[in-house]
């Protein structure tokens, strides 16, 4: 449905979740209008865009990683072909093993056939010894990817603008009118509305009961003439080279800090880590901060409002948006377009 200011879907939020879902729906022939505040410091804008098959101090396989990786590769390569823009890179992840306990845990995992695809043997020396002052032991996580969220978001925003269906500004939930025919916002009308607001979801009056918290993440932007351009390393923090020539270092997180500005505390934590453990020099280029949504059970939020048919949520991807958004945007699109059932572990009805 599209006639002037009438749309099939009104999407609120153009982070990685909103961008992936908007792209899916448009490719399915639907007319979509997107509201976004256009902020430069959002979780999607400052994220490293990392897909990490093995995470945490116990080296655990990421949830659904095989299915997520398969869809991520299909989705991102398709996006690249359609828009002629590079957004994805396959990159292994070097995990520094700081002591004997970490080395032992790593070796236990590599003995498990379920991990063979993603974890290599323990190694010594090499690039880790060149970069770090006191460590020379590491393992390699295979099958990782780095996704350029800014490239995706800038491409989608420009695409939507050219179609005349991108509106930059703050969305006022109180202005949204609900009627039997759908939804109206000012002079726009849509059959359905989808909220993809990230951390802003906590202020959404329609879905305020969902168990979400805001987590503040902060990073340093670095430069180095000697750091390898194809090396992602995780010690305590990640060191990740970006396409623009800078290096992403972080993150330092806080559940208590509600100030949107970068903090002295996070700067001190990250700077001390660099100075204490890294052998090679870095130039400080800046510090960035943003809030990301964290769901109580660490699973995304997909589904429909219990009272308002046609009002949906697609949110809560946390630190794993690069891997989760492609797969679950497909799941959400099939739910919206064909009535396919949502998996119970991501359906918002699990919190009823």
Residue 1 has pLDDT above 70, yes or no: no
* Residue 243, pLDDT score: 87
Report the distance separating Cα 188 and Cα 77, nearest Å. 33
Confidence of residue 2 (pLDDT cuts 50, 70, 90): very low
Work out the percent of the chain whose per-residue pLDDT is above 90: 95
Tell the residue number behind the tokens 């449905």, with chain if given: 1
| Mean pLDDT calculated for residue range 127-149 | 95
* Residue 244, pLDDT score: 87
**Kind plus residue range of the DSSP H or E element containing 331:** helix 321-338
Angle between helices 321-338 and 16-27 (to 10 degrees): 40
Residue 3 has pLDDT above 60, yes or no: no
* Residue 203, pLDDT score: 92
* Residue 296, pLDDT score: 93
| Mean pLDDT calculated for residue range 298-322 | 96
Look at the alpha carbons of 50, 53, 58, 60 in this order and tell me if their dihedral is positive or negative: positive
Report the distance separating Cα 320 and Cα 64, nearest Å. 12
Residue 66 has pLDDT above 90, yes or no: yes
| Mean pLDDT calculated for residue range 297-319 | 96
* Residue 4, pLDDT score: 59
Angle between helices 149-163 and 65-83 (to 10 degrees): 50
Work out the percent of the chain whose per-residue pLDDT is above 70: 99
Q: 79 Cβ partners below 8 Å, 6+ apart?
A: 23, 85, 87, 152, 155
Look at the alpha carbons of 151, 218, 52, 99 in this order and tell me if their dihedral is positive or negative: positive
Residue 337: how many CB atoms within 10 A of its CB? 14
DSSP string, 107-159: HHHHTSGGGTTTB---EESHHHHHHBSS--EEEEE-S-EEE-HHHHHHHHHHH
| Mean pLDDT calculated for residue range 138-154 | 97
| Mean pLDDT calculated for residue range 121-142 | 94
Residue 11: how many CB atoms within 10 A of its CB? 28
pLDDT in tens, 148-201: 999 999 999 999 999 999 999 999 999 999 998 899 999 999 999 999 999 999
| Mean pLDDT calculated for residue range 234-238 | 96
pLDDT in tens, 12-52: 999 999 999 999 999 999 999 999 999 999 999 999 999 99
pTM of the model: 0.95
pLDDT in tens, 197-221: 999 998 999 999 999 999 999 999 9
């Amino acid at each position: 449905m599209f006639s002037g200011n009438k749309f099939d879907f009104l999407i609120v939020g153009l982070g990685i979740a909103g961008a992936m879902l908007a792209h899916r729906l448009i490719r399915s022939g639907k007319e979509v209008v997107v509201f976004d505040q256009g902020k430069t410091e959002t979780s999607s804008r400052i994220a490293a865009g990392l897909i990490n098959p093995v995470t945490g101090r116990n080296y655990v396989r990421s949830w659904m990683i095989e299915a997520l990786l398969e869809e991520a590769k299909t989705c991102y390569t398709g996006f690249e072909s359609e828009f002629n823009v590079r957004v994805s890179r396959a990159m292994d992840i070097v995990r520094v093993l700081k002591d004997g306990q970490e080395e032992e845990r790593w070796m236990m995992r590599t003995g498990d056939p379920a991990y063979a695809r993603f974890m290599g043997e323990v190694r010594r020396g090499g690039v880790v010894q060149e970069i770090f002052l006191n460590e020379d032991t590491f393992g390699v996580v295979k099958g990782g990817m780095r996704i350029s969220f800014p490239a995706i978001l800038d491409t989608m925003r420009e695409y939507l603008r050219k179609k005349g269906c991108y509106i930059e500004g703050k969305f006022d939930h109180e202005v949204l009118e609900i009627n039997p025919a759908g939804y109206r916002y000012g002079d726009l009308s849509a059959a359905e509305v989808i909220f993809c607001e990230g951390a802003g979801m906590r202020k959404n009056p329609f879905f305020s009961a969902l168990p979400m918290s805001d987590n503040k993440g902060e990073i340093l932007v670095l430069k180095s003439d000697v750091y390898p351009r194809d090396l992602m390393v995780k010690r305590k923090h990640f060191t990740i080279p970006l396409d623009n020539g800078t290096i992403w270092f972080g993150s330092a997180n806080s559940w208590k800090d509600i100030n949107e500005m970068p903090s002295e505390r996070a700067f001190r934590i990250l700077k001390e880590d660099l100075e204490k453990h890294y052998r090679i020099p870095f130039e400080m280029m800046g510090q960035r901060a943003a809030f990301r949504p964290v769901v109580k059970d660490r699973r995304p939020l997909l589904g429909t409002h219990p009272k308002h048919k046609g009002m949906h949520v697609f949110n809560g991807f946390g630190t794993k948006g690069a891997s989760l958004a492609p797969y679950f945007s497909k799941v959400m699109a099939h739910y919206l377009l064909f009535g396919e059932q949502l998996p119970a572990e991501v359906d918002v009805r699990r919190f009823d």
